[in-house]
Amino acid sequence: MSIGSRVREVRKHRGLTLERFGRILGVSKTAVSKIERDENALTDTMARLIGHEFGVSESWLKSGEGEMEVSNKDRVLDDLVMTYDLDENGRIFIEQYVKLDREHRKALESYILALASALRKSEKACGEGELEDTDKMT
């Protein structure tokens, strides 16, 4: 099954016309039709939007692997990724963080706070003028 066929399956599964589906996604029915017929490629942005709006796995949409619909936990993660415009590394970081038990979360939080404190001390030791020059390099 092609990507376009999977997009069509999502639309049909939700009982939506090309026009209504497109309106929800902010594109024309012609744009949706071309994606469904594999005339236009499905962009990462559009795949994320379809996943978000319709509770569909982006992985399934792009590759056909796994289940079409995602769990509520995955939808919450998808919402965070979209809301805060996170890249794949940000998604993985959050996903792994929430999988940690309470003890390991606290250890990670302590480490990050200690690192932040050390960086602040280093900034003060360097002086603001030197720090501004460093900022310009990045």
Is 81 contained in some domain?
Answer: no
pTM: 0.56
In a domain, 19, yes or no: yes
Assigned domain for 83 exists? no
The predicted structure's pLDDT at residue 138: 47
CA–CA dist 32, 42 (Å, integer): 9
CATH code at position 53: 1.10.260.40
Q: The dihedral of CA 93, 98, 104, 105: what is its sign?
A: positive
**Tens of pLDDT along the chain (138 residues)?**
899 999 999 999 999 999 999 999 999 999 999 999 999 999 989 998 998 888 888 889 998 888 888 877 777 887 788 889 888 899 889 989 989 999 999 999 999 999 999 999 888 888 655 545 545 544
pLDDT value at residue 69: 86
If one counts the domains in the chain, the total is 2
Specify whether 59 is located in the same domain as 118.
no
- Domain limits for position 106: 102-137
What's the CA gap between 40 and 74, in Å, rounded? Answer: 27
Looking at the fold, whether 115 and 64 belong to one and the same domain comes out as: no
Could you tell me if residue 76 is inside a domain? Answer: no
52 shares its domain with 9: yes
Q: Which residue has the tokens 């469904």?
A: 36
Hey, is 69 helix, strand or coil? strand
